[in-house]
Structure 1
Amino acid sequence: MERHFVWTTTRRIKPGTLDDFERAWRPGSHPNGMIRAFAFWSEDGQEITGVSFWESREACDNWRQSADERQRRDAMAPFVVEERENFLRGGELSIPER
């Protein structure tokens, strides 16, 4: 099984701030070591989960400690009510055919 290094962040945001939050949320540059990223929104637009895939834990940690990431987090802060983060390792599961 191919192994992945994954960082997840789930944020609950203030009602009616999704557009402003999204502008602040997107990084200004491509983080070194990030392979790909996904975002998922709740139907009410008040919870956003980001899932990013990294070359290594170190690459993810380096981004999280960077000035660019601190600036991005500062820009998001006025819209965030709650935040949960987690670093995971794992891989894709194969699903049997029907």
Structure 2
Amino acid sequence: MDEHFVWVTTRRVKPGTLEDFERAWRPTAHPDGMRQAFAYWSEDGQEVTGVSFWDSRQACDSWRESDAEKDRREAMAPYVVEEREGYFRGRELVIPSGGSS
């Protein structure tokens, strides 16, 4: 199975600011080495989790240290109450097919 390099960031945003946060959150360019990215929102719209898949940790670190990412984080800052982030390695889980007799 292929191993993935994943960056996960969860941010709690100020009530009523989700739309503004989302505009600031979207990168202006596709980061080099990013394979995929997903965003998940809590039902109350106050917590957002971003999950991005990278070619390598070095590719992710390079993006995180870039001027574009620094600008993006500055744009998000007025809306963020709390932030947690981490780097993970993992692989897809094999889910057994149903149906036994």
TM-score (norm 1): 0.99
Rg (Cα) greater in structure: 2
Does 1:17 pair with 2:54?
A: no
Letter in 1 for 2:86: N
Identity of aligned residues (%): 70
TM-score (norm 2): 0.96
Q: Please, what is the CA RMSD of the aligned residues? A: 0.3
- The count of residues paired between Structure 1 and Structure 2 equals 98
Aligned to 1:83: 83
Aligned equivalents of 1:65, 1:93: Cα separation in 2:
31
Structure 2, unmatched stretches of 5+, are: none
Aligned equivalents of 1:8, 1:15: Cα separation in 2:
22
Structure 1, unmatched stretches of 5+, are: none
Does 1:68 pair with 2:68?
A: yes
Point out 4+ residue stretches in structure 1 off by more than 6 angstroms: none
